[in-house]
């Protein structure tokens, strides 16, 4: 092994792993933690967020060019490739995941009825600079885990399609192509890792996860409030950010306003986060949890639903004495009269209702049981629209999305929780345009009627709720439908990490190294809760880094508190630099994990930035690069592989590198083809040629896309950057006394 490989091997060491390997000098570690380190490898996400020219020959050519450039430059970047060298693997032996998964996890979405209600209207989630929680909260119940085994539970939110939306005429409709994706993060449940028994004991809530649109830095570094920090982990990042409130660690996932997203839940059987990259991810998607991110609510019905169900919005309820009502009373005499008329009844009806309780199910006809999931259905079409033409097509999408609800009369009307005054309020506070919304004006009757209807609806919705729960919804289990048909939105290339099966309801998707079924669902970036740190014994490292001062800054006293649960020591608290402190971990991890976010038609999330670099590096590996190039030339290996698989389970290893395919490609067919083509698949523990291929396709080509005429040059330049970085690390390592290069 060449020296560089050793260096890279050291880099592969996870900064949060304790104890720090002898061959990984803290100086190098700190260097890696320097904010400047990461950017050096990064490309502007926007640049990468472009469709790949062609996953086939073009990719191969670009990869070849990169390889040539690398060779010419004499760069020692092989170790930065996607596959850890054998020695490296040996050194990480202890990090290998459990061998076979003997458990059979089942995941159920909590408050499904509530989600369903929102889903029918096209759920909106407010995103703010400081971050907003999801509502309804994403909460799942897990069963079937090995009680003794430890698991890491994660969640991420990925783009559901590559469209941008607008709310027009009370409907959500496609408004064009999606903006470049924001840096993606994976949120590791703060209790991770914990035993199966612990996870199964109670619902697993991800309510701490916050949604934000706050990225002040395109590289994803500054997207944290003052005092925040990011941990780059394996090419992605272990992203944490500190809220401005000392002592509070918060996690944020960056979303684009007016874009649709799909939360995903992952179960990883691993007792250490270090094993994450080598472990099998089982991913669960609940179609009813998709939503459109907004900075301000668009759909009054959603607003009202939230107000009615979110405890924190109680002040806005009709029954409350919140400002909203008070204001109204001051400004709207007619409403005041109306409310006086309704109040007693409303009070009676709601006084006891827990705001957290699932709201009544609504509009039976729109129930998922009777029709394809709106999400699935519409997404496919929307996708077509997006791909072909971003011209909005007013009716279709929203109809599909909202089902009968928006199509004819407001769902709220016939079904349920619409509050009596909602329409009036809407008119009052919304622009004239909104007031004209057909659905609203058509559906809302006179006060009296509304009132009566509401009563009926109240009664009805209970029934419906029961029915829904008991009938078409597979009560209790497997709420998610993932299907094999290409109509599946997730399968249509938008949520590449998923495998779809007609009978696989909301069940897991394994990404497969061995099976050769890459599950491209693993974001390379993670956000973690404090608990996770402690559990993983990373506290001391954080402290070290922070204390080391170098790149560190962890954020002040708050840091300590925040990580406190995480065992962050005094050292960390001592570091009060508010600057972000990215930790660069390992290129190969990056390669494997960094790609995974869904990339629509080549819209690469941040991690791809790394990939580009890694890809170039990978090309320096003669053996693998050749194979990769060949594979790339062969074409269509794509992230849709998983789709082609009818097998209910796909073993997924984050080391798999996804490849993008033209948006128009049929996932199903591509997947099938791909499956065949990669039949020679590798074992999940071994480096597979696929990653290389992926790297080329994802990395090199994208570079090519950036600068079609100078991809080789760029690659060379990129590689030189890498070389500088690597040599920098090497130097630091060399300077570090008492450190022997592992051989």
Partner DNA sequence: TCTCTCACTTC
Partner DNA sequence: TGAAGTGAGAG
Q: Which residues lie near DNA (CB under 7 A)?
A: 126, 128-129, 132-133, 135, 166-167, 175, 210, 213-214, 243, 245, 247-248, 250, 257-258, 294-298, 303, 306-307, 310-316, 320-324, 326-328, 355-356, 425, 428-429
Q: Which is nearer to DNA, 219 or 427 (CB)?
A: 427
Strand partners, 176: 164
- Name 282's bridge partners: 267, 510
Q: Which lies closer to DNA via its Cβ, residue 254 or residue 492?
A: 254
- Separation between Cα atoms, residue 336 and residue 313, nearest integer Å: 20
Q: How far is the CB of 121 from DNA (least distance, A)?
A: 13
DSSP letter (8 states) at residue 698: I
The residue among 177 and 696 lying less far from DNA, judged by its C-beta, is 177
Least spacing, CB of residue 296 vs DNA, in Å: 5
Minimum distance of DNA from residue 254's CB (angstroms): 12
Secondary structure string (H, E, C) spanning 12-48? HCCCCCCCCCCCCCHHHHHHHHCCCHHHHHCCCHHHH
User: 245 or 623, CB closer to DNA?
Assistant: 245
Nearer Cβ to DNA, position 311 or 448? Answer: 311
Q: How far is the CB of 274 from DNA (least distance, A)?
A: 29
In angstroms, give the least distance from the CB of 226 to DNA. 12
Whichever of 322 and 365 has its CB closer to DNA, that residue is 322
Strands (E), 380-428: none
Question: In terms of CB distance, is 223 or 468 closer to DNA?
Answer: 223
Per-residue CA distances from 572 to 38, 250, 340, 620 (Å): 21, 17, 57, 39
Burial of 203 per CB tally in 10 Å (0-12, 13-18, 19+) = middle
Whether the Cβ atoms of residue 71 and residue 250 lie closer than 8 Å to each other: no
The CB-of-182 to DNA minimum distance in angstroms stands at: 12
Give the torsion sign (CA, 224, 226, 228, 230): positive
Query: Distance (Å, rounded) from C-alpha 380 to C-alpha 376?
Result: 6
For the bound state, the minimum distance from the C-beta of residue 19 to DNA, rounded and expressed in Å, comes to 32
Cross-strand partners of 265? 155, 284
State the Cα–Cα distance between residues 408 and 445, nearest whole angstrom: 14
Q: For residues 205 and 547, is the Cβ–Cβ distance under 8 A?
A: no
Name which of 113 and 250 has its Cβ closer to DNA: 250
What's the rounded Cα separation, in Å, for the pair 433 and 71? Answer: 61
Kindly tell me which of 23 and 250 has the beta carbon lying closer to DNA.
250
Look at residue 700 and give its three-state secondary structure.
Answer: helix
Shortest gap between Cβ of 232 and DNA (angstroms)? 24
CA dist 428 and 338 (Å) reads 14
Q: How far apart are CA 42 and CA 524, in angstroms?
A: 14
CB of 386 to DNA, least distance (A): 15
- Residues whose CB is less than 8 angstroms from the CB of residue 322 and which lie 6 or more positions away in sequence, other chains included: 314, 315, 316
What does the alpha-carbon distance between residue 591 and residue 588 come to, in Å, rounded to a whole number?
A: 5
Of 76, 64, 6, which Cα lies nearest the Cα of 724?
Answer: 76
Give the nearest distance from C-beta 320 to DNA in angstroms: 5
Query: Quick check: helix, strand or coil at residue 196?
Result: helix
Cα distance between residue 619 and residue 80, in whole Å? 10
Q: What's the min distance (Å) between Cβ of 117 and DNA?
A: 14
């Amino acid at each position: 092994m060449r020296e560089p490989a050793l260096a890279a091997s050291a880099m592969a060491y996870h900064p949060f792993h304790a104890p720090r390997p002898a061959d990984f000098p803290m100086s190098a570690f700190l260097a890696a933690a320097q904010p400047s380190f990461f950017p050096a490898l990064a490309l502007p996400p926007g640049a990468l967020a472009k469709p790949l020219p062609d996953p086939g020959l073009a990719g191969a050519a670009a990869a070849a060019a990169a390889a040539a450039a690398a060779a010419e430059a004499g760069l020692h970047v092989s170790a930065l490739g996607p596959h850890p060298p054998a020695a490296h693997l040996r050194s990480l032996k202890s990090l290998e995941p459990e061998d076979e998964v003997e458990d059979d996890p089942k995941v159920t979405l909590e408050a499904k009825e509530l989600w369903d209600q929102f889903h029918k209207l096209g759920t909106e989630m407010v995103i703010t600079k400081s971050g907003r929680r999801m509502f309804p909260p994403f909460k799942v119940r897990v069963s079937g885990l090995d009680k003794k085994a430890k698991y890491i539970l994660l969640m991420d939110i990925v783009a559901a399609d590559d469209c941008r939306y607008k709310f027009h005429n009370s409907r959500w409709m496609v408004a064009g192509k999606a903006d470049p994706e924001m840096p993606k993060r994976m949120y590791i449940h703060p209790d991770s890792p914990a035993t199966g028994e612990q996870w199964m004991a109670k619902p697993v809530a991800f309510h701490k996860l916050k949604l934000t649109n706050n990225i002040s830095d395109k590289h994803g570094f500054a997207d944290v409030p003052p005092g925040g920090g990011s941990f780059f982990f394996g090419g992605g990042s272990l992203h944490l950010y500190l809220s401005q409130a000392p002592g509070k660690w918060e996690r944020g996932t960056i979303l684009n306003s007016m874009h649709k997203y799909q939360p995903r839940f992952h179960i990883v059987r691993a007792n250490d986060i270090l094993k994450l990259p080598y472990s099998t991810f089982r991913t669960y998607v609940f179609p009813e949890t998709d939503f459109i991110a907004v900075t301000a609510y668009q759909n009054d019905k959603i607003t009202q639903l939230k107000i009615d169900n979110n405890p924190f919005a109680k002040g806005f309820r009709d029954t409350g004495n919140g400002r909203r009502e008070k204001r109204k009373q001051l400004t709207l005499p007619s409403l005041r009269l109306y409310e006086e008329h309704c109040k007693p009844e409303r009070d009676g009806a709601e006084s006891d209702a827990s705001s957290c309780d699932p709201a009544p199910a609504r509009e039976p006809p729109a129930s998922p049981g009777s029709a394809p999931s709106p999400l699935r259905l519409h997404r496919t079409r929307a996708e077509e629209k997006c791909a072909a033409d971003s011209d909005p097509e007013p009716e279709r999408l929203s109809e599909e999305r909202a089902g009968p609800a928006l199509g004819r009369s407001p769902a709220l009307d016939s079904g349920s929780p619409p509050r009596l005054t909602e329409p009036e309020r809407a008119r009052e506070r919304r622009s004239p345009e909104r007031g004209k919304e057909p659905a609203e004006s058509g559906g809302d009757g006179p006060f009296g009627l509304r009132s009566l209807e509401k009563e009926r609806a109240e009664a009805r919705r209970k029934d419906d709720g029961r029915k829904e729960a008991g009938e078409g919804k597979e009560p209790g289990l497997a709420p998610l439908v993932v299907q094999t048909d290409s109509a599946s939105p997730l399968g249509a290339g938008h949520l590449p990490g998923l495998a779809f099966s007609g009978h696989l309801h909301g069940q897991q998707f394994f990404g497969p190294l061995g099976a050769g079924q890459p599950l491209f669902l693993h974001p390379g970036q993670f956000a973690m809760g404090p608990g996770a740190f402690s559990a993983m014994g990373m506290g001391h490292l954080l402290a070290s880094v922070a204390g080391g001062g170098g790149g560190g800054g962890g954020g002040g006293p708050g840091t300590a508190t925040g990580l406190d649960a995480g065992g962050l020591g005094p050292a960390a608290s001592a570091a009060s630099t508010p600057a972000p402190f990215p930790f660069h971990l390992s290129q190969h991890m990056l390669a494997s994990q960094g790609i995974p976010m869904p990339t629509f038609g080549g819209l690469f999330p941040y991690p791809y930035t790394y990939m580009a670099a890694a890809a170039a590096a990978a090309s320096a590996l003669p053996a693998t690069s050749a194979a990769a190039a060949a594979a790339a030339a062969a074409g269509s290996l794509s992230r849709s592989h998983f789709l082609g698989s009818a097998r209910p389970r796909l073993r997924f290893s984050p080391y798999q590198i996804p490849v993008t395919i033209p948006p128009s490609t049929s996932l199903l067919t591509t997947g099938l083809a791909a499956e065949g083509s990669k039949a020679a698949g590798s074992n999940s523990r071994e480096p597979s040629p696929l990653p290389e291929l992926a790297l080329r396709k994802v990395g090199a080509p994208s570079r090519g896309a950036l600068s079609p005429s100078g991809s080789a040059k760029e690659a060379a330049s990129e590689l030189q950057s890498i070389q500088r970085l690597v040599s920098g690390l090497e130097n630091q390592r060399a300077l570090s006394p008492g450190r022997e290069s592992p051989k």
